């Protein structure tokens, strides 16, 4: 079964909009695990516009499933991850002015930099994953960095699938097959939803984990968080 990691950034965004502590991100993380999620994902950004660095520390003792911290490995981020030692760190090349993640790493161009960062994390026993576009050369480049896994950036698939273009899955299938042959684990995330997750899962071999936040939280506004998590788990089984 593919694991479901719930990205709780949107809960922090809602909390921050009023300046208080409602909803409480730690309680929400505890609840999604109780409802069946097999992981919790956070993505702190330098401006802390949703998840704050303090949230990462507060969550450490409460995430008893898999704790996945995403972000651009600037010094502050690296220091935090090395101190917290989450289950997994996912490296994302965020531009500071980006609303959300909008591209994967160029693993060929940034090979040496990624190798150094990944070695540091792996020396501390932290599983590493690199956010990548669905291009075969990027998968080969990721292998050369020493990473444990890749996370396929799925926005292009989600957009095309919504337009009825199911052939958009083909590069993801090919990349997953290559990654598997190279000994890389395969994760995926960005704009996956109840509408497209089953099709994606069926066509991406050995998919280990999906990280879903925006769609899952949006769907939960209508259907309820516990119900939505169960719906995802059913589609991923």
pTM for this entry: 0.95
- What 3-state class would DSSP assign to 38? coil
φ and ψ of 14, to 5 deg: -65, -45
Identify the band that residue 204 occupies on the pLDDT scale cut at 50, 70 and 90: very high
Domains in the chain (CATH in brackets) are 3-236 (3.20.20.70)
H/E stretch holding 54 reads helix 53-60
Band the pLDDT of 46: cuts 50, 70, 90: confident
In which band, very low, low, confident or very high, does the pLDDT at 30 lie, cut at 50, 70 and 90?
A: very high
In total, the chain counts a number of residues equal to: 237
The radius of gyration computed from the CA coordinates of the chain, to the nearest angstrom, equals 17
d(CA 151, CA 130): 6
State pLDDT tens for residues 140-149.
Answer: 999 999 999 9
Which residues are known catalytic residues? 43, 70, 190
Start-to-end CA span in the chain (Å):
5
């Amino acid at each position: 079964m593919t694991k479901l990691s719930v990205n709780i950034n949107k809960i922090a965004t809602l909390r921050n909009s009023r300046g208080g502590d409602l909803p409480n991100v730690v309680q929400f993380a505890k609840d999604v695990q109780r409802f069946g999620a097999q992981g919790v994902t956070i993505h702190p950004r330098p401006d802390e516009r949703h998840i704050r660095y303090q949230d990462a520390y507060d969550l450490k003792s409460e995430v008893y499933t898999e704790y996945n911290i995403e972000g651009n490995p600037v010094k502050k981020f690296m220091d935090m991850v090395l101190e917290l030692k989450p289950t997994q760190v996912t490296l994302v090349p965020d531009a500071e002015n980006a609303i959300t993640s909008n591209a994967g790493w160029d693993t060929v161009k940034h090979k040496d930099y990624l190798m150094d960062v990944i070695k540091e994390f792996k020396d501390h026993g932290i599983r590493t994953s690199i956010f990548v576009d669905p291009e075969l050369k990027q998968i080969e480049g990721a292998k050369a960095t020493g990473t444990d896994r890749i996370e396929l950036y799925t926005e292009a698939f989600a957009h095309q699938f919504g337009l009825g273009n199911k052939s958009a899955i083909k590069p993801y299938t090919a990349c997953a097959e290559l990654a598997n042959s190279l000994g890389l684990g395969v994760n995926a995330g960005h704009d996956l939803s109840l509408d497209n997750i089953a099709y994606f899962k069926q066509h991406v071999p050995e998919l280990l984990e999906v990280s879903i936040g925006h769609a899952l939280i949006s769907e939960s506004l209508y259907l309820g968080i516990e119900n939505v998590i169960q719906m995802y788990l059913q589609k991923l089984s």
